[in-house]
A and B are shown apart, each in its own frame.
Chain A
Amino acid sequence: AQSVTQPDIHITVSEGASLELRCNYSYGATPYLFWYVQSPGQGLQLLLKYFSGDTLVQGIKGFEAEFKRSQSSFNLRKPSVHWSDAAEYFCAVGNQAGTALIFGKGTTLSVSS
């Protein structure tokens, strides 16, 4: 079955510290992978995407993610977290045909000062 797992429900990071959010997927076809961020009461904003090519992708707001096919993972990283990064983060998987994305349950990021 196609699925996305985000093992960490809630993570707290100190401001200025590094961040890694985990994402594992199960998908039969070549996956298109996405990370979205959602602030309270808002829609989802795309942080970055992976379709093919270089397995390390850069996104907005200083985020990056690395696709590891052997581990079926697409972890999100940021070298130095800012208080404004506190939000909910969702990993999603899709395909070239553009059928609906499958989302993980999300990881809530809190940033402590």
Chain B
Amino acid sequence: DTGVSQNPRHKITKRGQNVTFRCDPISEHNRLYWYRQTLGQGPEFLTYFQNEAQLEKSRLLSDRFSAERPKGSFSTLEIQRTEQGDSAMYLCASSQLTGSPLHFGNGTRLTVT
């Protein structure tokens, strides 16, 4: 169990640029979740996958955001035309069974200048 891995750890980008983050879940976990966390707040749900199927998307996930999990293993989260309000920590988590605890990665911190 190597844990959930997220890359990059930090990303600084200029407003209007596109960014992509990667998450590698724990290998036997079939559920993968994306959350966003801003300073002083708890994690806010964005979307989750069961295997390669995206089962739920939050209304926080505007049309500039897209997530994929093409082979049911790693996942990517892309933000197009970034805005300063997108600056946050983006957390990925995975779980093995429905209802089981989520295991979180260390996150990708995005700063939009």
Interface residues of A (CB under 8 A from B): 4, 32, 34, 36, 41-46, 49, 51, 90, 92, 94-106
Contacts and interface: CB of A to CB of B under 8 A. Distances in A.
Contacts of B100: 98
A44 B104 contact: yes
27 contacts: A34-B101, A36-B104, A41-B109, A42-B107, A43-B91, A43-B105, A43-B107, A44-B91, A44-B102, A45-B104, A46-B101, A46-B103, A49-B101, A96-B99, A98-B95, A100-B33, A100-B48, A100-B56, A100-B58, A101-B33, A101-B45, A101-B102, A103-B44, A104-B42, A105-B42, A106-B40, A106-B42
Instruction: Give the interface size class of chain B.
Output: 20 to 34
Nearest to A44: B104
Contacts of B2: none
B106 A43 contact: yes
A25 B106 CA distance: 26
Interface in B35-94: 40-45, 48, 56, 58, 91, 93
A34 B40 CA distance: 19
Interface of B: 4, 31, 33, 40-45, 48, 56, 58, 91, 93, 95, 97-107, 109
A55 B105 CA distance: 29
A4 B41 CA distance: 12
A101 B107 CA distance: 17
B57 to A, nearest CB: 10
Contacts of B44: 103
Contact of B45 (A36, A42, A44, A100): A100
A36 B58 CA distance: 22
Nearest to A97: B98
A97 to B, nearest CB: 6
A5 to B, nearest CB: 11
A43 B4 contact: yes
A90 to B, nearest CB: 5
A51 B31 CA distance: 19
A43 B104 contact: yes
Contact of B98 (A46, A49, A96, A101): A96
